[in-house]
Structures are given as structure tokens and as C-alpha cells.
Structure 1
């Protein structure tokens, strides 16, 4: 929003010596970010010139320049025509243009001097609006011939005051919640808050002068039968008629200058008046040619298949949610409400009678239509941020006054004002809340004073108050909004910068510590962490050897997937981790170790649909409960993959390919680091090789996951290296099992006693079962148990195998005797024999 400083002074008492930079600094204090400063940085001679001759001269580079002679009066000291080279082509001999002569300086410190170019000495420059700093158009120079006051312009006239270049304009960035600052009125109010300067609200006098609605006004009907979010598209519609306007009457020079400074191009008196009122007060207006209207105006939603041609000469197909201004007589759309008018009723050169529309439209409805039609406008930009619903009558009155004064029109006595203006809801405020939220001590009296200053009505009752926000502040909806206003107006500089105090300890939860430990451990073992998007398809389930129908039953389908080939959420980390392995292999990396931690979804039963609520509406407790119930379990897993050599070859010797023992080592390393004791049990689970798959569980039977070698069919289907090693563990199970703090064990200073035992068992007996039985029989003095040999052969017998274990015993208070160790060993062997049928060799 561009704020001409001279215009701002009409609304608020800006000190006479205040520069644009000072005003911008004051506005920054109340949260209006400075975008730029314009004007006041051009030095002359910058004058009006009349083009006398214009000779096109093609150049070798394909460009055509114009060698011009320009009458600049006595500004050049000689009165002779000035020779100037210009590359633009949007003017002709006889046109009035803006020329800067040698010695002048354009914005940005661009000094002008006479110089030879294209074979001529160019004594100055014919300027574009961009070069003058009053716009962005750089395609052609600024032509003054079409200005309403062109007849009064003479060559050599100083163009700096003519174009307002001696006046400053402050440009600010208006955030979406501060829509009232899209007006001089709103910014003037904010400047008053920042500096204490006296603010005069022009709306008060206009509202007092505006006549009350009567039955003689133009008929208007509000017929919105499809309100959005329960709110009518149009809550108020004011219509005023001015007859006998001379549309060819020039726009006053002061109004045209202000419009230009604010970034808008003067067009015609009726249009300029509506734009001037919008910029000044913040209420968008629209002017209809009264002669083109047929029957009462009806504000309604569009019908299916309805279309209209807007002012930009584009025929647009309307959506049933678009709010329209229509006339019932011809049953046609006159305008897309709050966005743009229609070509059928625009002001033309033959217009004499004008109907002024000042309405209040719903912000959501306007925003949706503007985005749907890709048709942003100055009006929609204000409506979608919220316009003061009490402003319509005053804005219409100002427009009528200006058209009567400068257009020679006569205002009708009839006044239309239909609908019920929206009122702001009162807010019950704890006066201590701003202090608690902001961390600054605001007394209740100060809170009440600030809220009263910004226009709120405050009814105080002790430490609480009922606060009714002003009509121009629809963004104030709850207590935190009011607390923010107190902090903003009282001064952001008063809020201290305090570093937060670190919590006692590491600041991590037990689950976070476990996850970090697991990730650090895997990284220390040579694994590289990766991340994969959690999206898969049925083809991936089939490639991994899962039962596709069973996998689908546990899978959540996305309502709007990024890819039709991956519309499902993963039920296993390995289903996406294999993509990283394939990518690395395809890039030439043969020896790869990867891991990933992340969530998987394990749907239990049919997938339920979570209810939805509109944005900005707090769901009820029942709806929140249904939303939570619809979310499936999302356990956290860790998965890893090994391919190629685990130990690299080199001068130190031959390498060693990764095998299942590396997967077991990884799993045992994780559980040991967490103080847990795990065991591996032979299992048969896809996507693993049935003879090289281990189920990892704790000694109490808690399931942790699987490790092993991938099935040959899986490797072939996914294009992975042969004998790829994989594993996937449930991190949530590790977190739950390691919840109890580990107990410190006193180290014994007495010697250890080792004894070996070889047991013959059936081939079908799992070594883990033998180990568990030996541990149970050996008792508490067993310090470690290690399987160091497996033998199959004639001495073991057909269908048998021999498992050799080393048992280490140690007592905390004495040295164990040979007899004690032998007894403990025998007890362990007996337990194994009873549990597994083992026979000592």
C-alpha cells in the first residue's frame, strides 16, 4: 500500500518537518513493514516538453532509435529545440512528454549529461514512469497529452511538482490480518497509535451527512441461497444515484496526483472518484451506468453454466459459489461481487446517470472467487482481508459529494441501504492474560487504555473485562488477539530478549534417547542413514513376497496420492529402504550399508474415515475423538540393509562378504547397548530366505523383529545384489523394554572359571533353545555362555549335530573350586537334556 504523505496529513497531524523515512520508522513500531520510499529524490531540470520532430533511424544491431527535437521552452537557457535520442515508439510529434535535461538527477542517483550516442549528441532524456520512479512501466515513455489538464501544460514547465515528484510516498506491506491498513484512514490511525498524533476520522462527518435509507432508492434484493460457512455473501448493500454527470469533466489535478502517487492510473472522473474513496477510506465502490440497468438489483449466487464478460473483455464461466450482482429485469450478471464489474454496464462516454454501489461482502466468498478466476483486483484484495461493515454509507456519501462537486451531477433523494451490517462479537478478557502471554508487566489499567485507544469498547469488572472490537477489526476474535494488540501498541521494544533456561538433564525423553542411541550405534558400525518417502504400491508388496490381499488389508490408502503408482502407506521400512539400495547400486557402489528409522502404519480392521471441519473452527470433543480413533497405529521401526563386502579387501588381506551373522551382530549390538538380552530363533518370514531368517526376541518372549538374508525371489524381483542381508526391528518395543533404568552390577575381583561342554542334539533343535536351557540350569554364577563350534558328521550321528559351548563361572565372594564348577556344569547339562534331549559327548 502506497501512502502519499500529503494525503496522510489530512487524516492525522504529521509534524511539518517529518520526512517519509520518519513516518516509515513510526509505522514499523506498530507492525507495518516498510516496503520502500518514493519521491523527493529527483533534482531538475525536469520539464514538460513538446515533441516537434521524430526521425526513426534503424541501427546495425536491429534496433530502431528516434532522433527527436523537443521544445522545452526556456528551460535549456536558449529557447532552442532540444535534440534527444529516444528508443521508445509510443509517442508522436505534437505529444507532450517529460524531459530531464543535462544536470538533472533521476531516482537512484542517475545523473544526466549530454553525450554522443547513435551518431548524435543527446542533450537529455525523454522519461518513462519507471525512470521517474512513479511506476513499473518501462515499455514506453510517459505521455502527458492524455492528461485531463493537458491543455494547461506548456513546454518548459517544471514537471517535478506537476507529477508530484517533490512529494514523498511511503510504501508499506499490509499483512492479511490488517486489512484496514489498505487505506489512508487505516494507516493514519496506526501512525496515531505509534506517535500519539491526533487522528481525525473522516468517516464520522461523512456518516453524519449521509441521509438515512428511504423507500425512494433503487430497488436491491439480497438473495444468497447458498451461504458459505453459514455467512451471507452480502450482509449490506448501499446504493446512491447521481444524475446529470459530465463524464468528460476532468479529474481534479490534486486527485489525479494522489491516485498516481498511490500507484493507480487516472482514467475518468467517475472511476477516479471510486478509486479515490477506496484508497482513502478502504471501502471498494463500483459505478454502474444507470441507463444500462433493467429492473431491481439482485445479489445472488451464480447458476450452473452461467457466464459473463468482465471489464477486461474476458468471458468467464461462473461457478455456483460465485457471488454476483445481477439485474432481475434482464436476468443477467452485472458484476462478480467484490472483484470486477461487467462490460455491459461500465461507464462510457455517453453516461450521464451513475449508480454508486457500496457493499459489504463475505471475505471467504470473495477470496475463493478471485482465486478461482485468477482475477485479483484492488477491491478483492480489500474484501478478502475484511472491510469495515459500518463504512458503506459514509463511503457512498463521499463519492456522491465528489461527483456532484466535480462532475456537475445532482444526487437523488432516494437512498438504498439493505441488509444487516455484521457486528463484532464481544470477548471476555482476563486482564492479566497479556502479561502472562508476553512476559511484560501490563497493569489492568494499561490494558484497558490500549484496547480503548485502538477503538474497542471495554466494560471492566475487576480483573476481567468484556471487550467489543471496533467494526474495522474483524481479526480480533479471542483473548490472545487482544493480548497481541496490547503488546503491539505498548511497544515491541519493551519485550525483553531472554534466553530460555535449559531444562535439567539432557532434555530428551526416554524414547528420544533410545532412538538417538540406535541411530548413533548403527552409524558407528558403518551404516549410512537415509530417508525414503513412505509411499508404496501393491507391486512392492508382491515383490517382497507378501500376501498381497493380507498386506492390502493392513494398508492405508491415500485420498490424494502424489503418484498413482504409490497410493499406499508402507507397512514395512524394508519396502521403501530397498529403493535406496537399488539407487546406490545403480550409481556404482557395490559395498553398501544403509539404515532408516521411521514410522509404518499397521491398520487394524477396516480403515475408518476421519471427519473434517472447516478451517478456523475448533472441532468439538466428540469430533476430535473420532479423528483420533480414525488414525491407525503408527509404530516406529528401524531397518537396515547390507550388500557386497562387509569387510573391505586391501593390503591387509581379502575381504569378507556380508552374511546373516552381521545382521545378528547388528541386532545384538542394539539390544546390548540398551541393557537388554535378546535371542535369535530360526523362523520363516518373508521377505527373508526360509533357511536364513532369525526371529529376534527378548528372553521374556517380546517380539522385536526379523533379520536374515533376503529371499532369492525377492532379490531377483527388486534387482538387488545376490545374498543381500536385511533386518527390521520395532523401536517402540525397544523403548518399552528398556524403560527401567539399568542396575549397576558390582564387578568381582575373583578369578573366572571356564569349562567346555559338547552336546549332541537332533538337527531340528534350535541352538537358542539349548542355550536358554543351559543358562537356566547353570544358575546365577554363570557369567557368560558362548557357542564356539558346531559339528555334523559320523561321530555325531545321522540327523544329529554337536554344539560346543564354553561356560564361564565367577562368584562375587570367593574363588570357585573345581568341584563347584563341575557341579554347576552338570546342572546346566541336565537342564539342557531335559529341555531339548541333548546328550553330552
Structure 2
């Protein structure tokens, strides 16, 4: 919003010496962000000139230029006429124009341009005759600015137009404008009235609300006004599309009458282009008060106006000459309920536009629903100054005052007559009363605000405060639809009291236990894997049925245990993942495609595990605390989301170099990482052979707790999976349920006293069927070796002629130790033989 300083002074006592920078600083102190400061884009000698002579000179290129002699008084130091070449043809001898002399600067579409005396078209042109766009006070560049036309009807200004007079103050080019960024909750600041109010809050300057006097002067509604019906068969969120509509009629207007120069200058300073009297008046009122208005040609309307929702298939040609297909959610202003006249709050239609032949005008000042207007503006990609204000909330009590100001201006400037009949229908909803404890702002902000100061600030911003013995009952002003909760009022107290008066104090953390057990586990896992050379990645948790099929999973079963997204980012990935690996393979493939041959990645993230059918969660309005039943229903609709850790290794685990050849990552590397995780969390993990997708059936291990609780799987990806996904050959990895590990790690770890007696070791090599897993045989040895068997380690595997077909030899090192004595050879041999006997009994093991 651009607010000219001189315009602000109409509503608030801005000191005469205050510049744009000072005003902007005051506005920033109450939360209005400074966007820019604007001044006239002209410098140097800019004067009033009278055209003494004008000679038309055709050129060889077909263009005709004017060689002009212009009286600029004594400004040029000689008093002689100034010779200037001009290509425009909309002026004549004797006209008063604006001339900039050498040394000055004007603004062009390409940027600032320094003016100098230069030879052109056979003459030395000592200056330039300016257009409105070059002066920055309009968009007209077809011809130069003729001052008698610009100031038509303003006798006082016409008297000041003498050759040589400084044109900068005459055209208001020395005035400054502040541009502020208006946030969505401060829509009332999309007006000079609103910005002036905020300046008064910031500085204490006296603010005079122009709407007060205008509302008092506005006549009451009469029974003979233009009939207006407000109907809405499809309200959004239960709110009617239009809850107030004021219509005023002005007859006998001369719409061709010129817009006064002061209004054109103010519109231009505020960033709008002067168009015609009727349009300029409605825009001026909107900028001044914040109430958008629309002018209809009364002769083009029927007997009544109906505001309703659009019907399917209806079309309307808007003022930008675009025919638009309307949506049933669009709110329309119609002629008798049949012919659409305008998209309410967005843009009018061409059929009822005020034109050169218009004499009678119907002025509309209405209050439209913000959500309805916002949706229509975005649906039709039709942002307008009106919609920008309506969608942020317009004062519902402002319509009569705005209509009165527009009527007064049209009568005064256009020679019209105000119709005594007035239409004012609809009743806006009253502002809700907000209850707030006087000490609440101090508790929220951390600054002591006395109760009297809280009441004073709220009353200063326009609230009505009932300050009894208990909490304050606060009724926000009509122009502040954003004040709906006690927290909103706290923000106002802090803002008006001064954000700069809130001390910067580092908060003192409350005493506590620090990280939770789950957080410590996750950090331990991530730190360990990173220390082992793996890089952490994050992948979006969305997959499609094709990915599940590529992994060799049962698509129907996986789809049944996950959630289908109602509005997915991609139609190819509408499901929540049930496995980290299903999305993590993308990271491996992406890194390999970019030249990384050796990849080691891990991810810690959530997966979805839906038990039963997917149930929709109830929705509640924003700002409303759900009751216990609704919260329970929301929680019940959320599926289980266990946290997993997954890892994938591809390429070499040990890289080649001068030290020797490299080594490709294999299943043993993954098993070692799992073992390290178990040791770091003090959790006993047991691995056993398994065969599940997407792993190679002969190179897959099941990971579980000592009590048999499943934790996950590790292995080498199936060759077909690798081929379908485009992964490096023999990619290995695994996925573990981190929640299971977290619960297991909660058990107290008992410290064991270090043994002081020596250990005794004995090696055994057992021949068993190839189908017997090494881990299974190890467990049998442990159980058969007794309590003194401290450790069992597999150190060799042999398959060949010496053990026979279908057999293999597994060599284990058994470690025995007693806590109270040195064990004898006989004891060790006996315990070893017992362990071997248990293996022979369980799996037919034969000692080599």
C-alpha cells in the first residue's frame, strides 16, 4: 500500500517537517514493514512553458516533428524563448506545457534520462517538452502534458501557471510517498485511513477518522431505494457471500468531466492510473477509506439487483474484455437475478460499464465474504485492487460512509444530483466478544503490563472493553476481523506498547532429563553407522505399486497394510511406504548414476503399518480445540508408524590402492554392522538363515532378539530385484525395526566382574550337512558346553573331497573360564566333549 504523506495529513497530524523516512520508521515500530520510499522521478529545472510558435517539419523518414519556441521566463538566464524539438502533436501555439531544461532528469521506461542540449532534426534542442508518463504522474505517453487540460476546473492552480514557474511543486513532484507491506491480518491498512491510524498509534499524533463524519452525513435507508435481494444457496463455511449491500444513485452526471488534478496526482502517487471521473472517484474512495466500490450504468440495469451464487454454465464478460465461465461458488451481482453484472468483490462486467453516454450511476458499497472473493479471484486468475482488500477483510460498517463520500465527489465534480432514495440491506454479524485475563499479556510476552495499560491499549486500537472485577470482555472494532482470540489481543498489546521495549533475554532451559531414551538410541545408531563410513540419506516416504512389484513383494498384501494418500504429489506414488528399502534404493541408484561406484548409505525413518481398514480422521475448524472423543477418533485413525533403520552397500567395501586389491561389500559386512549395533545398544541379536523378499534366498539372514522377537532381515538383494531396479550387482543391505531395538535397550545392563583366572581354549571341527546353519550349530555347542563355556567363535569353513558331498566342516574355537580357579586340562576336555556330543545328538555332527 502506497500512502502519500500529504494524503496522510488529511487524517492524522503528521508534523510538517516529517519526511517519508521518518513516517516509515514510525510505521515499522507498530509492525508495518517498509517496502519502499517514493519521491518524484524528476530533478533539475522543470518549469511551466508557453508555446510561442510551432513549425511542423516533415522528415525523410516520414515522421513530422515540431520546432517550437517556448517561453520559459528568465529560468534559462537570458529571458529568450527556448528552442525545443518535439514529436508530439496534441498541442498548439499558446498552450501551457511542462518543459525540462538542460541539466534536468526525467524518468523513461528505460530508466532515468539526463536532459542536455543536443542537435537533432537539424536543430539544437535545448530541453524537452514532457508527457505525463515522463513526469511520473500518469501513464499517457501518446502526447505531451497540456497544463490547461490537466488543471481544468481548478481556477487557483490555473492562476499559478505562468512561464518560468517551477512545475515541480505545481505537479506535486516534490511530495513523498511511503510504501508498506500489508500482511493478510492487517487488511484495514490497505487504505490511507488505516495507515494514518497506525501512524497515530506509533507517535501519539491526533487521528481523525474520516468515516465518522461521513457516516453521520449519510442518509438512512428508505423504502423507495433500488430493490436489492441478498440470496445465497451455497454459503461457504456457513457464511453468507454478502451480508450488507448499500446502493446509492447519482443522476445527471457528466462522466466526461475531467478528473481534478489533485485527485489524479494522489491516485498516481498511490500507484493507480487515472482513467475517468467515475472510475477515479471509486478508486479514490477505496484508497482513502479501504472500501471497494463499483459504479453501474443505471440505465443498463433492470428494476432490481440480486446477489446470488452462479449457476452452472453461466458466463460473464468482465471489464477486461474476457469472457469467463462461472463456477457455482462464484458470488454474482445480477440484474433481476438473471443476467450477471459482476463477479462480486472481484470485477464488474462489460454490459453495465459506465461509458461516455452514461448520465445516471448506481454506486455499490457492499461487504462480501473474504473466502468467497479470494477463491473467485484465484479461480479466474483475476486479482484486483478490490479483491485484494475484500479477501483480507473489509470493515462491514464502512459501506454507508464510503458511499456518501463517492456521492459527494460525483455531485461536486461531475455536476450530478444525489437521489434521496437509499438502499441498505443485510445485517453483518456482530464482532465476537473475547474474554481475556488482564495478566495474560504479561504471562505470554514476559513483560509486565499493568491492567490499566492493557485496557488503554485495547481502547486505543478501537476495542470496547468491559473491565469488571474478573476477566476483560473485549469487543474488537469492526475494521479488525483478525482479532478473535486472547492471543490476538496480546499481540496488539505488545505491538502498541512497543516491540522494541521487549527485552532480549536468553531463555533459561527448565530442568529435565535431556534426551529421551528413544532419542539417545537413534543418535547412537546414526553415530555408529556414520563412523563406519555410511552416509545418512532421506527419501520421501511415498511409493507406488510398481516399486513393490520390482522388489518382489506381494503387492496386494503390502497395499492392504499401508495408507493410500488422498491427494498424492505424484499419481505414480500414491502409497505410504511399508519399508525404508522401497524408497532408499532410489538414493543408491541416483548416486551410482552420478559416478559414485562405491556406495554405503543408511536411513532412519518412519514406515506405515496399517492394521485393518484405513479409517478417515474427523476434521475440525482451525482455532477450535477438539473434544476428547474427537481427539480419540483422530488418534484411532492414525496407523502405526514404527521407526526403522535401513542400510545398503554397493561396490567395494574396502577400496583398492597401493596397499592391495579392494574387497566387494558382501553379507558379512552387513552382519558385522548389525553386530556392532547390538553391542552399542547392549542388546543380544541372533541371526539365522531365512528366505524372504527382496533378498537372495541363500544369502538372507533373519535378525531377532534372544527371546525370538523379530527385528528385521539382512542379506543380498535378489538378482532379479537388482536387475529391475538398475542397482549394482550383488548389492547388500538390511532393515531393522528400531522401535524394537529401543524397547530392548531399555533393560538394565548389568556390569560383570572381570575374571582374574586364565582362560582355556580348545578347537573343534565338526562335519555336518550343508543345510545346517552355522549359527544353529553354535547355539547347540553353547548349551552343551555348560556355564563355564565363555565364548564360541567360528573361524573356518571347509567344503571339499575330505568331507564328502553335501557336507561341510565348521571349525569353532571354544573358550572356557572359571571365576574361582584355574581349569585343568581334563575339565576343559570333558566340557568340550560334552559340547560335541550335544552337536552330534542334535545335528549328527561328526568331529574331524
Q: Structure 2 length normalisation: TM-score?
A: 0.91
Residue of structure 2 equivalent to 1:568: 575
Q: For residue 214 of structure 1, give the secondary structure of its aligned residue in structure 2.
A: coil
Q: How does 1:25-64 map to 2 (within 5 A)?
A: 25-39=25-39, 42-48=42-48, 52=54
Does 2:658 align with 1:651?
yes
- C-alpha change, 1:243 and 1:608, in structure 2 (3 Å) is same
1:10 counterpart SS class: coil
Give the Å deviation of 1:420.
Answer: 0.5
1:8 is matched with 8
**What residue is the counterpart of 2:701 in the other structure?**
694
- 1:165 to 2:167 alignment: no
Instruction: Choose the corresponding residue for 2:547, options 522, 533, 540.
Output: 540
Q: What whole-Å deviation, never above 9, does each CA across 1:647-688 have from its counterpart, x for those lacking one?
A: 222221222222211121121122222111212100011111
* Paired residue total: 834
For each residue in 1:771-829, what CA deviation from the matched residue of structure 2 results, as whole angstroms up to 9, or x when unmatched?
22333454555443211123445665665444322233344555444455445545544
1:532 is paired with a residue whose SS is coil
Uncovered stretches (5+) of structure 1, i.e. residues with no partner:
none
Equivalent residue for 1:21? 21
Q: Which of 324, 335, 338 pairs up with 1:316?
A: 324
Shift of 1:700: 1.6
Q: CA deviation at 1:606?
A: 2.6
Change (3 A) 1:717 1:260: closer
Q: Are 2:636 and 1:636 equivalent residues in the alignment?
A: no
> Match of 2:310?
302
SS in 1 for 2:9: helix
Instruction: State yes or no: 1:356 paired with 2:355.
Output: no
Gap change, CA 1:77 and 1:618, over 3 Å in 2: farther
2:137–2:269: 8 Å Cα contact kept in structure 1?
Answer: yes
719-728 vs 224-233, which moves further: 719-728
Cα deviation 1:79-133 (Å, max 9, x = unaligned): 55545578xx776564976432223356899684525477875533455667645
Q: Deviations over 1:534-561 (max 9, x none)?
A: 3332222222211222223223333333
Describe the SS at the equivalent of 2:200. helix
Aligned pair 1:712/2:719, yes or no? yes
CA 1:774–1:84 in 2, change beyond 3 Å: closer, same or farther?
farther
Residue 797 of structure 2: aligned partner = 790
Q: Deviation of residue 458 (structure 1)?
A: 1.0
Alignment pair present for 1:809 and 2:816:
yes
Query: Which residue in 1 is equivalent to 2:566?
Result: 559
Residues 305-361 of structure 1: per-residue CA shift (max 9 Å, x gap): 1112222222221111111111218x2111111111122222222222222111111
Deviation for aligned residue 1:747: 3.1
Q: Distance in 2 between matches of 1:571 and 1:754?
A: 46
Deviations 1:212-267 (A, max 9, x none): 11212111111112111111111011111122222233333322222222222222
What is the alpha-carbon root mean square deviation over aligned residues? 3.2
1:670 correspondence with 2:672: no
Determine if the alignment matches structure 1 residue 290 to structure 2 residue 298: yes
**Which of 363, 368, 375 in structure 1 is aligned with 2:382?**
375
Change (3 A) 1:693 1:184: same
CA contact (8 A) 2:130 2:145 kept: no
Give the secondary-structure state (helix, strand or coil) at the position aligned to 2:714: strand
Q: 458, 463, 473: which is aligned to 1:456?
A: 463
Is 1:100 aligned to 2:94, yes or no? no
1:194 positional shift: 0.7
Q: Is the 8 A contact 1:34 1:171 kept in 2?
A: yes
- Match of residue 197, structure 1, among 185, 193, 205: 205
Offset of residue 839 of structure 1 = 5.2
Worse-matched range after superposition: 351-360 or 714-723: 714-723
Distance 2:10 2:358 in 1: 32
Residues 799/110 of structure 1: CA separation in 2 closer, same or farther (3 Å cut) = closer
Between stretches 268-277 and 561-570, larger displacement belongs to 561-570
Q: 1:760·1:838 contact (CA, 8 Å) conserved in 2?
A: yes
Tell me: CA distance 1:102–1:411, structure 2 relative to 1, closer, same or farther (3 Å).
Answer: same
Residue 184 of structure 2: SS of its match in structure 1?
Answer: coil
Q: Secondary structure at the match of 1:11?
A: coil
- Residue aligned with 2:741, SS: helix
Q: Hey, what's the Cα distance between the residues in 1 that align with 2:213 and 2:686?
A: 87
Deviations 1:12-41 (A, max 9, x none): 112222222111111111001111222268
- 1:139 deviation in Å? 7.4
Worse-matched range after superposition: 90-99 or 359-368: 90-99
SS of the residue 2:195 aligns to: helix
Contact 1:760-1:802 at 8 Å conserved across structures: yes
Alpha-carbon distance change, 34 to 721 in structure 1, aligned in 2, over 3 angstroms: closer
Q: Is the 8 A contact 2:50 2:72 kept in 1?
A: no
SS in 1 for 2:185: coil
Which segments of 5 or more consecutive residues in structure 2 lack a partner in the other structure?
A: none
Cα distance change on mapping 1:24 and 1:589 into 2, 3 Å: closer
Tell me if the contact between 1:216 and 1:413 (Cα under 8 Å) persists in the aligned partners: no
CA distance in 1, matches of 2:440, 2:580: 47
1:826-837 to structure 2, matched below 5 A, reads 828-829=835-836, 832=839, 836=843
- Cα distance in 2 between the residues matched to 1:762 and 1:337: 85
Provide the TM-score with structure 1 as the length reference. 0.91
Find the aligned partners of 1:523 and 1:126 in 2 and give their Cα distance.
Answer: 73
Aligned partners of 1:348 and 1:211: how far apart in 2? Answer: 28
Greater Cα shift, 819-828 or 155-164: 819-828
- Contact (CA 8 Å) 2:2, 2:271: kept in 1 or not? yes
Distance apart, 1:617 and its partner CA: 5.6
Which residue in the other structure is 1:607 paired with?
614
Write the distance in 2 (CA, Å) between the matches of 1:783 and 1:83.
112
1:183 counterpart = 2:182: no
For residues 518 and 385 of structure 2, what CA distance do their matches in structure 1 show?
Answer: 53
Q: CA deviation at 1:469?
A: 0.5
Q: 3-state DSSP class of the match of 1:545?
A: coil
Q: State the alpha-carbon separation in 2 of the partners of residues 736 and 91 from structure 1.
A: 89
